[in-house]
Structure 1
Amino acid sequence: MELKPEQLVAQLDSGPLRPAYLIAGPEPLRVLEAADAVRAAARAQGIAEREVFEAEGNQREPDWAALQASFRAPSLFASRRLVELWLPTAKPGKDGSAVILDFCADPPADVVLLVTAGEWSNKHGGKWSEAIGRVGAISVAWTVKPHELPGWIEQRLRTRGLKADREAVQQLTERVDGNLLAAAQEIDKLALLSDGSQLDAATMESLVADAARFDVFRVIDAAMNGQAAQVSRMLAGLRAEGTAVPALLGMVVKELQTAAGLARVAAGGGNLSAAFKAQRIWDSKQPMYQRALKRHPAPRWDAFVSQAGRVDRLAKGRGRAGEDPADPWLALERLLLAVAEPRALRLLARA
């Protein structure tokens, strides 16, 4: 059984716990809250004993032998136990898969297994996760997409007993800038401060802090994902915070060079999956690069790298002879807008 995190939470209230749960995905808040819901359901059903297995010290994997022994050992302090397994990469390997498969083939009556992971994609699944799905439930906490965020916030407000009009929801959406943890914290604060009336934009403005996190990583991700409006907004925030353009360019150039290299591999008919692995690009970030590579041919990525060098010269006051003086912030914005949206390429001709 595969459920969304919110569906899993609702299902936990309707009956006894299943033998096993797998909760994974790139959105930490949704993973955390779904796992907390399983823990809360376990406590409500009288499961007081809890064991946690994860990699420790220099170990790359949990102690699989100890985990398997725990499954078959009688409970010391209670009739039932919650056994948690933390897999950051969602890849238990051969030994771990065997232990999980053995558990699912004959789940002990006194054990509930909770597996949590910080990554997930189609490549992560296997016989071990399918086995969990057969005897229990799988819940994948995907990242909430920008167009889904207003709905997520509105639903979250309702669960906290709050009502907000469309403008207020949109304002909160813009303030948290995709940060679900910040959104959850602000909504909890609103639940304490609200007088019970419907929240409008003015009230939201007065009660909610601007929780947007402006940093170079998010700016680059926005550009690579084709989110031009986000690029302009984040750059304006960075500039207002006093960030210097040269402090941003190192990561900008690195990402553009990475994309250029991947584009050359793709253009040459090479194995892009192998290139991702060679560049140590996580599975969760590969779709971002794939979307970006579809927007621009390989030569254009090399041109973007050269343009970043021009921005660096402008920022350091080292423009070439005959090069028109320009605001380095404007030049950087035009570059990243061109990365995000091919129609913005014309802006580079003016840079």
Structure 2
Amino acid sequence: MELKPEQLATQLESGPLRPAYLIAGPETLRVLEAADAVRAAARRHGVAEREVFEAEGNPREPDWDAITATMRAPSLFASRRLIEVRLPTGKPGKDGAALIAEFCADPPADITLLVTAGEWSRQHGGKWSEAIGRIGQVAIAWAIKPHELPEWIERRLRAHGLKADRGAVQQLADRVEGNLLAAAQEVDKLALLSDGSTLDAQRMESLVADAARFDVFRVVDAALNGQGAQVSRMLAGLRAEGEAVPALLGMVIMELQRGAALARISERGGNLAAEFKAQRIWDAKQPMYQRALKRHGVARWEAFVAQAGRVDRIAKGRGQPGEDPGDAWLALERLLLAVAEPRAARLLSASR
């Protein structure tokens, strides 16, 4: 049975240590905390030795031969071991799937296997993950939906011995803007600052910093992820904070040029994975670019870059002859909304 990471952590507190665990999903904080719960349970059950195998090379997979050798070799320092296998893509490949299934068919008494993955969907699973589920536990950290965030925050507050009314919880949810790590950090801080009384919205306002920082990195990420509403809200926040459009455009232009370069390689059937590596785009951020590339072709990416230049001229009061001086903030919002949503591309032509 598939569990939520929090359910797995609860089971581990009093239940037995299973031979194998799979923890995967896009919510990194929940994956990390569930994996920490497995490690803590392993220590309580006398597991003193831990070995970690990271994915490397192309395709990005762990060294399955080394893992096989480790599983078959006796422990040098302890009677029981925890072997961790980290799969950024959530796909072990043919060799890895066979090894995991073989392990689960006859798990050694002295080994607990922990597999973690950053990417996950209904298509990622297979016989290997089903094998883990038969002898152990599978926990998937699906993305927290906006309407689920207040409940997640309230549970975390209770776990820290804090009480808050509905208005306070919602206020914190609005501030962290879906960022679970920011929410966790704020709850940790509240645990230190609270006097033990129930937190209301006014008290929350005075204690919590605005963790939903409206920085340009997150604005661009929202545009690439197709989150138009987020783009508008974050830009409004940046403007209210006194930011200047020219200060933001360096990052915006760099990301649009990167998108154009990736689109050219994708269109001609080139090695996109190699280009991701060359441009130092982390595994965790690659799906975001891939989604953006599906929405726009090369011509549109090049149009975005050209439009960014126009926004820069407007912001600096250097518009070309006959060019509408316009509002730099509005022009920037139209540009990023067009990146987020193909249907919004008509806004660009309307602004010329």
Q: Shared topology, TM-score over 0.5? A: yes
Q: Cα offset for 1:125?
A: 2.7
Q: 1:106 to 1:226 in 2, by over 3 A?
A: same
Give 1:42's aligned residue.
42
1:162-177 correspondence to structure 2 within 5 Å: 162-177=162-177
Q: 1:326 to 1:210 in 2, by over 3 A?
A: same
**More moved, 276-285 vs 201-210:** 276-285
1:1-351 correspondence to structure 2 within 5 Å: 1-55=1-55, 61-225=61-225, 227-239=227-239, 240=241, 242=243, 244-251=247-254, 253-254=256-257, 257=260, 284-285=287-288, 288-289=291-292, 293=295, 307-337=307-337, 340=340, 342=343, 349=350
| Aligned-partner SS, 2:21 | strand
The answer as to whether partners of 1:245 and 1:328 remain within 8 angstroms in 2 is no
Letter in 2 for 1:250: I
CA distance in structure 1 between the aligned counterparts of 2:57 and 2:125, rounded to whole angstroms: 26
Q: Cα offset for 1:109?
A: 1.3
Deviations 1:7-38 (A, max 9, x none): 21122234212111111222221111000011
| Aligned-partner SS, 1:125 | coil
Q: 1:246 to 1:188 in 2, by over 3 A?
A: closer
| Aligned-partner SS, 1:85 | strand
Q: Cα offset for 1:83?
A: 1.4
Q: 1:241 to 1:288 in 2, by over 3 A?
A: farther
| Aligned-partner SS, 1:84 | strand
The answer as to whether partners of 1:101 and 1:131 remain within 8 angstroms in 2 is yes
CA distance in structure 1 between the aligned counterparts of 2:63 and 2:338, rounded to whole angstroms: 49
Q: 1:256 to 1:116 in 2, by over 3 A?
A: closer
Deviations 1:60-112 (A, max 9, x none): 54332332222233334443221112222323333322322221111011211
CA distance in structure 2 between the aligned counterparts of 1:15 and 1:66, rounded to whole angstroms: 31
Indicate the percent of aligned positions where both proteins have the same amino acid: 69
CA distance in structure 2 between the aligned counterparts of 1:211 and 1:245, rounded to whole angstroms: 19
Letter in 2 for 1:115: V
| Aligned-partner SS, 2:147 | coil
Letter in 2 for 1:145: K
Q: 1:224 to 1:60 in 2, by over 3 A?
A: closer
Letter in 2 for 1:349: A
Letter in 2 for 1:47: V
| Aligned-partner SS, 1:148 | helix
| Aligned-partner SS, 1:155 | helix
Letter in 2 for 1:29: L
Q: Cα offset for 1:232?
A: 2.6
**More moved, 124-133 vs 308-317:** 308-317
**More moved, 241-250 vs 196-205:** 241-250
The answer as to whether partners of 2:68 and 2:99 remain within 8 angstroms in 1 is yes
Deviations 1:138-172 (A, max 9, x none): 22222323333222212211222222122212221
Q: Cα offset for 1:253?
A: 2.8
| Aligned-partner SS, 1:51 | strand
CA distance in structure 1 between the aligned counterparts of 2:2 and 2:23, rounded to whole angstroms: 10
| Aligned-partner SS, 2:143 | coil
| Aligned-partner SS, 2:116 | strand
CA distance in structure 1 between the aligned counterparts of 2:149 and 2:298, rounded to whole angstroms: 33
Q: 1:133 to 1:190 in 2, by over 3 A?
A: same
Deviations 1:34-62 (A, max 9, x none): 00011111122222222222257999543
CA distance in structure 1 between the aligned counterparts of 2:212 and 2:82, rounded to whole angstroms: 37
CA distance in structure 2 between the aligned counterparts of 1:258 and 1:177, rounded to whole angstroms: 30
TM-score by length of 2: 0.80
Supply the RMSD in Å over aligned alpha carbons: 3.7
CA distance in structure 1 between the aligned counterparts of 2:60 and 2:224, rounded to whole angstroms: 32
TM-score by length of 1: 0.80
Q: Cα offset for 1:183?
A: 0.9
The answer as to whether partners of 1:22 and 1:137 remain within 8 angstroms in 2 is yes
Deviations 1:214-250 (A, max 9, x none): 3334213323555444223322444436451431331
Q: 5+ unaligned residues in a row in structure 1: which ranges?
A: none
CA distance in structure 2 between the aligned counterparts of 1:61 and 1:229, rounded to whole angstroms: 37
**More moved, 72-81 vs 175-184:** 72-81
CA distance in structure 2 between the aligned counterparts of 1:32 and 1:125, rounded to whole angstroms: 20
Letter in 2 for 1:313: R
The answer as to whether partners of 1:175 and 1:211 remain within 8 angstroms in 2 is yes
CA distance in structure 2 between the aligned counterparts of 1:207 and 1:129, rounded to whole angstroms: 43
Letter in 2 for 1:166: R
Q: Cα offset for 1:190?
A: 0.9
Letter in 2 for 1:192: L
